Chains A and B, each alone.
Chain A
Amino acid sequence: MLTVSLQHALPEFALDVQFEAPPGVTVLFGRSGTGKTTVIQAVAGLLRPERGRVALNGELLFDTGQRHWLPPHKRRMGYVFQEGRLFPHLTVRQNLLFGQWFAPRGAKLESLGRVVEMLGIGPLLQRRPGALSGGEKQRVAIGRALLSAPRMILADEPLSALDEARKAEILPYFERLRDETGIPVLYVSHSAAEVARLATTVVVLQDGKVQRQGTAAEVLGDSAVMPTGVRAAGALLEARVARHHDDGLTELNAGGVPLFLPQIAQAPGSPVRVRIAAHEVILSRLRPEGLSALNILPGCVEHIRTGGGPGAMVALQTPAGRVLARVTRRSAQALALEPGAECYAVVKTVSIAPEDIGGAGPGARDLQK
């Protein structure tokens, strides 16, 4: 458990945050320039905040009140930077083993072979960073952090410098990191898809303050919390793979309701998380028939949130979990949507993007027990 309390003046606003990161992946979620990087740098010891206190599993990393400051090299935080920051004068293998020279005696070391296998970087070992692609560099950076016997992994937007294809290539490795190593991760991101795939816990930052903290499903399903804008809103459903069909579809069981996705790799029975983008959901008061969309979730309106614009965010309670739907105010009125009203959420299979589907790993609830 990481406990963080920080105050620091930034040019635009004052950072003032308190939060706790339980085991699993905690995503610091917010748009650019809300102080996320400042927080993670202070945790790593790369930035000295004006006031604050950070402790990991009861051990104090710093406390400005007690004038206690542990230098970064004694904190043992495996940091994965946005731009990789591999050492250009060392081979990939030497980069990977760099941290092991400095790991304290008796520390539990990951084995090079296991990490290399997990990240699929075996063929790169003899190369130098200058000869690697962006995605390869980032995988090596993850491996280097893992092999330094870290007590925690800090990842500062590790995918933001990569294109979509490379992001899709790296995300599964963070899922494996979460599910296979048990090392807690603090992950900075401004992408709702990354939150949906990775987060056990989400801490939403806005203008230097913690706006909301909770499990990924709670936070993404909350229509009041949209740190990266209404366009990125979308609730998270937790489901299990039911079966794979011959026509390229995968059927999930989401709380008893079938959900069809473009085919995914996970085996039948494995847990998956699916983010349903709010603007891709159509609402209908009657059970629709003769419709091409395959996914029809029966539900009941929880609440409707409207702002100054033409849109309304409708939160539905369905057997699969909470679903957010973004419709126009005009439609909400025409359908007489109001809390308690029964209606159906319609989601096209092909509107569910691959980057919004992830292996669920140990659920947030299991870890917090």
Chain B
Amino acid sequence: MSGMAGWLSPEEWQAVALSLRVSLWATMAALPLAVWVAYLLARREFPGKQLLNSAVHLPLILPPVVTGYLLLMMFGTKGPVGGALQQIGIVFAFRWTGAALAAAIMAFPLMVRAIRLSFEAVDPKLEQAAATLGASKPWVFATVTLPMILPGLIAGTVLGFAKAMGEFGATITFVSSIPGQTQTLPSAIYTFLQVPGGEAAALRLTLVSIAVALTALLLSELLARRAAARLGGR
């Protein structure tokens, strides 16, 4: 790590570290909610299901700038939600937490889609079998459903993480690009490209970006393959 810190300037390193922190928090916070929403969409019938489905997918089809602007209106210090949260000391606007919120919302639909597909692949007959063996609903979920959706869960998480690492439009619109606060890797690359002589720094961050994405992809392939092999039975 020290070698990498030396290779990157402190400012560049700051952007990388911030991006990792923002993306990790965004994925981890979004994951339980994504599992729940994916479960609802895959397994339950309820009024407003289509509405929920559309709302989840909205960030995927809206221009990211629009999503960012909507976030600013909702969660800005003068926004209805942001104002209320400020009273209890939670601030999103122009903070790294805001960058994490924007990244989470942009990554959310991708995570839900991957996890929903794996929920749909689980045979409910196995869950019935678990119930006849004495497992209550939460236990059936923990001991049968969850292990069986694991490959999809891993794929969704990595996809979400990669999306969060690369999120630019909504982030820069919502929380701007303040070095050390909200300047994530993509915003740093963009900023370096705006100043003369910044190409070298931009190139270094681009390489870091590629390396992080590839590592995440390989890791998820490995984990998903291992999980799938277990399910395959040998």
Select which of B125, B134, B233 is within 8 A of A99 by beta carbon: B134
CA gap between A98 and B143 in the complex, in Å: 9
CA gap between A99 and B136 in the complex, in Å: 11
Write the nearest CB–CB distance from B150 to chain A, whole angstroms: 8
Please name all residues of chain A whose beta carbon is closer than 8 Å to the beta carbon of B125 when the two chains form the complex. Answer: 81, 83, 85
Contact A102 B234 (CB under 8 A): no
Total A-B pairs, Cβ < 8 A: 80
Q: What 1/0 flags go to A73-96 for Cβ under 8 Å of B?
A: 111111101010101110000000
Q: What 1/0 flags go to B105-140 for Cβ under 8 Å of A?
A: 000000000000000000001101111111111011
Contact B230 A128 (CB under 8 A): yes
Q: How big is chain A's contact interface, by range?
A: 20 to 34
For residue B132, which residue of chain A has the nearest CB?
A79
Select which of B134, B143, B144 is within 8 A of A76 by beta carbon: B134
CA gap between A76 and B133 in the complex, in Å: 7
Main secondary structure of the interface of B (DSSP, over half): helix
CA gap between A71 and B135 in the complex, in Å: 10
Contact A130 B132 (CB under 8 A): no
Please name all residues of chain B whose beta carbon is closer than 8 Å to the beta carbon of A103 when the two chains form the complex. Answer: 134
CA gap between A148 and B232 in the complex, in Å: 25
Say if the beta carbon of B63 comes within 8 Å of chain A.
no
Say if the beta carbon of B148 comes within 8 Å of chain A.
yes
Query: Among residues 55 to 81 in chain A, which have CB atoms less than 8 Å away from a CB atom of chain B?
Result: 71-79, 81
Contact A99 B133 (CB under 8 A): yes
Please name all residues of chain A whose beta carbon is closer than 8 Å to the beta carbon of B230 when the two chains form the complex. Answer: 89, 128
Say if the beta carbon of A144 comes within 8 Å of chain B.
yes
For residue A102, which residue of chain B has the nearest CB?
B134
Please name all residues of chain A whose beta carbon is closer than 8 Å to the beta carbon of B144 when the two chains form the complex. Answer: 87, 89
Contact A72 B132 (CB under 8 A): yes
Please name all residues of chain B whose beta carbon is closer than 8 Å to the beta carbon of A102 when the two chains form the complex. Answer: 133-136, 139
Select which of B131, B139, B140, B147 is within 8 A of A89 by beta carbon: B147
CA gap between A131 and B133 in the complex, in Å: 23
Say if the beta carbon of B207 comes within 8 Å of chain A.
no
Say if the beta carbon of A44 comes within 8 Å of chain B.
yes
Select which of A72, A75, A88, A101 is within 8 A of B232 by beta carbon: A88
Known: A85-B126, A128-B233, A131-B234. A98 touches B131 (CB 8 A): no
Contact B234 A144 (CB under 8 A): no
Contact A87 B128 (CB under 8 A): no
Say if the beta carbon of A353 comes within 8 Å of chain B.
no
Please name all residues of chain B whose beta carbon is closer than 8 Å to the beta carbon of A77 when the two chains form the complex. Answer: 132
Say if the beta carbon of B231 comes within 8 Å of chain A.
yes
Write the nearest CB–CB distance from A92 to chain B, whole angstroms: 10
Select which of A46, A76, A130 is within 8 A of B233 by beta carbon: A130
Contact B129 A129 (CB under 8 A): no
Taking Cβ atoms with an 8 Å cutoff, the residues of B that contact A are 125-126, 128-137, 139-140, 143-144, 147-148, 230-234
Taking Cβ atoms with an 8 Å cutoff, the residues of A that contact B are 44-46, 71-79, 81, 83, 85, 87-89, 98-99, 101-103, 128-131, 144-145, 148, 154
25 contacts between A and B (CB under 8 A): A44-B132, A45-B131, A45-B132, A71-B136, A73-B135, A73-B140, A75-B132, A76-B134, A78-B132, A85-B128, A87-B126, A87-B144, A88-B232, A88-B233, A89-B147, A89-B230, A98-B133, A99-B133, A128-B230, A128-B233, A129-B233, A130-B232, A130-B233, A144-B133, A148-B133
